[in-house]
Structure 1
Amino acid sequence: MSFLGLIFKNPFRNKARAALAIIGIGIGIATIVALGGMTTGLTQSLDETLHQGGADFTILSSEDDAQGTPYGTKNLNDTWLDKIRSMDGVKKVEAIYLVTLPIDDDLGMVIGLEPNNTFDTGSLDTEIIEGGFLASDHQAVIGKLISEESNLTVGDKIKLADEEFEVVGISESGDPSYNSAVMAPISDLQDIMDQKGQISMIYVYAENNASVDTITKKINDSYGEELTTVTSVSDLKQMAEMLNMLDVFKWGISLLAIVIGGIGIINTMIMSVYERTREIGVLRAVGWRKSRILTMILGESLVLTMSSAFIGTVIIVAILEILSWLGYLSVFSPIFTWDVIAQGFAVAIGVGLIGGIYPAYRASKLPPIEALRYE
């Protein structure tokens, strides 16, 4: 058998021990990949929300607690629309009013929009798959998931809070949160909430030749005490802190996986070397150098950890994709980029090297004569 063949075969001689090592390390790697995918998915979902329909940036209230999410928690007055619209370089503005209301029997997100808005240039990247868009008061466009779960179609009635709305359309979006949301006229929602003239945020679209940085600077200089311009997730202080905390947590899990996985691999490989003492003595007696023995044992350690990374990654990606497809991850879907997967495999390599170096060194130092006497 070739040298490479030995490296790939030897770790699995004791199948039970190899399986336990793969499970232990695989759980750690799967956790790292899952956290990375969820962080990436959350970041992209928030960024898409801030730039829905091609908006160049979003305006929120400057109140501290309005910056925790792209939806805002402090309302703006719609008088800001004319002020922003009149600024140089601004092509158009759109008001969005987001509230949580009882939708029939369940609480859900309701998005307030101006009737007769169009989805080609509107604020939401959503496709009407049945019916049409809002044309007058007390009409609603419901997300695909609501339509399927409540068995509602165009022409039916849906209750928002204590008021009935006619379903005029069913929408579908690449953003899972919008498939579980309802769109309704902004004025109706303001009346229900007793907040006439109040809006949650403003989407701003710049002229083709205008500088977004110039516009946002002008808004911040003129209205910085009352408004906050948001061009990326990093501008949302609380959200940026949360994402950073998730990233720190992910690398904390990585360190834990390296320590625990490293101990597990050391134990597995030491037992493997112990059981193969006579075999290693034979290899040394027929001319194998210490460096070749060391390379073989270290290679076996890496084969185990890379197998763990592959199996753990495939399983966690499959589980989260299925959960997302079934609608259990309705707020955002995890996104598994090559960077996220590479991080998991990098940790696996680190575990393999750290956990395998001592057993490999010990195997390479075995005296051939004493090893041959071992029973």
Structure 2
Amino acid sequence: MSIIGIAIGIATIVALGLITAGLEDSVQTSFNEGGAEITVMNSTNVGGGSALLDSSLIDDLKNVTNVSDAAGQLSVSDSNPLLEQSDSPGMGTRFYGINASKLNLVGIKDVNGSVYEDGSYEAIVGLSYSDLYNVSIGDNLTLFGHDFEVVGIFESGSMLADNGVYASLDTLQNLSDTSDVSSIYVKTSEGANDTIVGDNIEDKYGNLTVLTSEELSSIFDNVTDILDTASLAISGLAIFVGAIGVVNTMVMTVYERTKEIGVLKSIGWKSKKILMMILGETLVLTTLSGIVGSILGISIAEIGVKLIGREGFSLVYTPKTFILAFGITIIVGIIGGVYPAYKASKLAPTEALRYE
């Protein structure tokens, strides 16, 4: 039970550590590969609402100091199946409308096949989306009862973009009966301070949420910090139970080996040597738990990623994850072994030898 308890705790730390590191790497890649340094949204749209931005703001933003380009994007979806012939779940396809010439601002540069024409009922899909829903060039995706032919598949290196479907902004605006956009991506001039540019946009236009890549990264870091804390809390309970089990196990071991310890003392073993022997055995026990837990955690994380089916997402193996895991096992081993080891070292040889 002691090994199982500690192993479960370590498995939780390792699995969530690998997944969190993978998410961090993917999101960082999104920021690095994405062309725009600033994202502009309506202040009431940040929480996932439907508030839109007037398209005229796109040209206004292009005139802001140190802004080299800007593009609007409209996000729409309905409850239609993704593909009539698809085995995918019956959830709506989310389309992102952006002018074909501005795809570089969302990190899309290389497309296998062709890029849709503005005003057409054509679409391109990310490689992860294509793999997940078995979508190929020539297939049709449905939005508001209209078929969009898939003409290209892209891989941007961004998990967010590679799970998306992109089509003509004009077409999606016509289907949605709006001329507005959900967000605007802003490309700053080379060498410009993104934070200053973002502040200038907020000051000039008000009632906007302006997020730089650094701010988006910081928001995500806060989320991963919460995940890390939750991981430690969950695993901490399992490890605590395991630590109690270690103490009980080693106390019983000392009890069962009382006569053996008496013999060792009678032939000259010092109390310190006895203490180190029991403590060493405890560390071996907890280290074994750490190895089992690490293997279990890796397996859970790998299986989880495959079940989710996010081909664009991969686990990231960092020394930090395993140093934390084995650091905890060593600490648990020391704490759990101190009392049994001390108890063994204080046994009187004569009493121990008489023990049956």
Quickly name the TM-score band, shorter chain normalised.
0.7 to 0.9
| Counterpart pick for 1:197 among 180, 192, 203 | 180
Map 1:1-375 onto structure 2 (within 5 A).
20-49=1-30, 52-63=33-44, 66-68=45-47, 74-101=51-78, 102=80, 103-104=82-83, 106=90, 107-117=92-102, 121-125=104-108, 127-128=110-111, 130-136=112-118, 137-148=120-131, 152-199=135-182, 201-230=183-212, 231-233=214-216, 236=219, 242-325=223-306, 327-329=308-310, 333-375=314-356
Distance, in Å, in 2 between the alignment partners of 1:235 and 1:223 is: 24
**What CA RMSD, in Å, does the superposition of the two structures yield over aligned residues?**
2.9
Distance, in Å, in 2 between the alignment partners of 1:337 and 1:223 is: 43
The TM-score, its normalising length taken from structure 1, stands at: 0.81
Deviation at 1:243, TM superposition (A): 4.2
Q: Gaps (5+ residues) in structure 2?
A: 85-89
Deviation at 1:190, TM superposition (A): 2.3
Is residue 90–residue 204 contact of structure 1 (8 Å, CA) maintained in 2? yes
3-state SS of paired residue (1:99)? strand
The TM-score, its normalising length taken from structure 2, stands at: 0.85
One-letter identity of the residue aligned with 1:196: S
Deviation at 1:329, TM superposition (A): 4.8
Q: 1:75 to 1:313 in 2, by over 3 A?
A: farther
Deviation at 1:326, TM superposition (A): 5.2
Distance, in Å, in 1 between the alignment partners of 2:29 and 2:132 is: 26
One-letter identity of the residue aligned with 2:200: K
Is residue 271–residue 346 contact of structure 2 (8 Å, CA) maintained in 1? yes
Is residue 62–residue 224 contact of structure 1 (8 Å, CA) maintained in 2? no
Distance, in Å, in 1 between the alignment partners of 2:300 and 2:192 is: 45
Distance, in Å, in 1 between the alignment partners of 2:2 and 2:302 is: 26
One-letter identity of the residue aligned with 2:142: K
One-letter identity of the residue aligned with 1:94: A
3-state SS of paired residue (1:228)? strand
Distance, in Å, in 2 between the alignment partners of 1:304 and 1:95 is: 59
Q: 1:32 to 1:173 in 2, by over 3 A?
A: same
Q: 1:221 to 1:147 in 2, by over 3 A?
A: closer
One-letter identity of the residue aligned with 1:163: H
Deviation at 1:48, TM superposition (A): 4.4
Q: 1:54 to 1:176 in 2, by over 3 A?
A: closer
3-state SS of paired residue (1:87)? coil
One-letter identity of the residue aligned with 2:228: D
Q: How big is each residue's C-alpha offset from its partner over 1:181-223, in whole Å with a ceiling of 9 and x where there is no partner? A: 3211122222333332222x22222222222232122223323
Moved more, 294-303 or 260-269: 294-303
Q: Gaps (5+ residues) in structure 1?
A: 1-19
One-letter identity of the residue aligned with 1:313: S
Deviation at 1:235, TM superposition (A): 5.5
Is residue 219–residue 229 contact of structure 1 (8 Å, CA) maintained in 2? no
Q: 1:244 to 1:358 in 2, by over 3 A?
A: same
Deviation at 1:173, TM superposition (A): 4.6
Distance, in Å, in 2 between the alignment partners of 1:53 and 1:229 is: 14
Deviation at 1:283, TM superposition (A): 1.7
Deviation at 1:179, TM superposition (A): 4.2
- Matched residues, number: 346
Q: 1:62 to 1:145 in 2, by over 3 A?
A: closer
Distance, in Å, in 1 between the alignment partners of 2:109 and 2:251 is: 58
Distance, in Å, in 2 between the alignment partners of 1:143 and 1:127 is: 11
Q: 1:167 to 1:225 in 2, by over 3 A?
A: closer
Distance, in Å, in 1 between the alignment partners of 2:221 and 2:206 is: 20
3-state SS of paired residue (1:249)? helix
3-state SS of paired residue (1:198)? coil
Q: 1:353 to 1:198 in 2, by over 3 A?
A: same
Q: 1:190 to 1:204 in 2, by over 3 A?
A: same
Is residue 36–residue 340 contact of structure 1 (8 Å, CA) maintained in 2? yes
Distance, in Å, in 2 between the alignment partners of 1:373 and 1:36 is: 51
Moved more, 96-105 or 157-166: 96-105
Q: 1:338 to 1:151 in 2, by over 3 A?
A: closer
Is residue 50–residue 58 contact of structure 1 (8 Å, CA) maintained in 2? no
Is residue 46–residue 233 contact of structure 1 (8 Å, CA) maintained in 2? no
One-letter identity of the residue aligned with 2:93: G
One-letter identity of the residue aligned with 1:283: L
Is residue 124–residue 153 contact of structure 2 (8 Å, CA) maintained in 1? yes
Moved more, 328-337 or 224-233: 328-337
Deviation at 1:170, TM superposition (A): 1.8
Moved more, 133-142 or 326-335: 326-335
